[in-house]
Amino acid sequence: SVLPGRVAAALSDTFPYGNLVITETPYAWLPPAWIEKFAIQENQSIYILYAHLLETPAVSLGDAVAGCQAIARVGKSGNTDAPHLHLETRLGPAGATFPSMAGLLAEVSDEERANYKLWRTSGTFLHFDPMRLLAPDLP
């Protein structure tokens, strides 16, 4: 896990992500410089999605995670044919969970599709470049 927090999703065999974990780091745990840099509000958290994992996640929904804790291994599950870590960083409302998520296939459930749309396209979870966290000199 890049940051400490809690598990907001731990899913197996989703499409297009394959095995995935989403962690949430709440506002209160964020460095003041990040809060200022990203204009994070008190009711927001940083979410990080880790996808295409090798195996079923080693963590479960609601688990606490520490920064630098191993939560999974790089793999090629889901819609990919080469091992890699798919990483997405987003700002979103505090306390969100994703007990299911899948998209792009006709046979996914309404809940899976709704959660996928919420994460990917609703505008509720705002994408930002993860290098802005990891390289402090970037604007």
pLDDT of residue 93: 98
pLDDT of residue 59: 97
Amino acid present at 48: I
pLDDT of residue 16: 97
pLDDT of residue 78: 97
Per-10-residue mean pLDDT, the chain, length 139 = 97 97 97 92 98 97 97 96 96 98 94 97 95 76
Q: Where are the beta strands (DSSP E) in the chain?
A: 5-14, 18-26, 44-53, 64-65, 86-93, 126-127
Exposure of 15 by Cβ count < 10 A (0-12 exposed, 13-18 middle, 19+ buried)?
Answer: middle
> For residues 106 and 103, what is the distance between their CA atoms, to the nearest angstrom?
8
> For residues 86 and 64, what is the distance between their CA atoms, to the nearest angstrom?
21
Q: Which two tokens stand for residue 65?
A: 């995670």
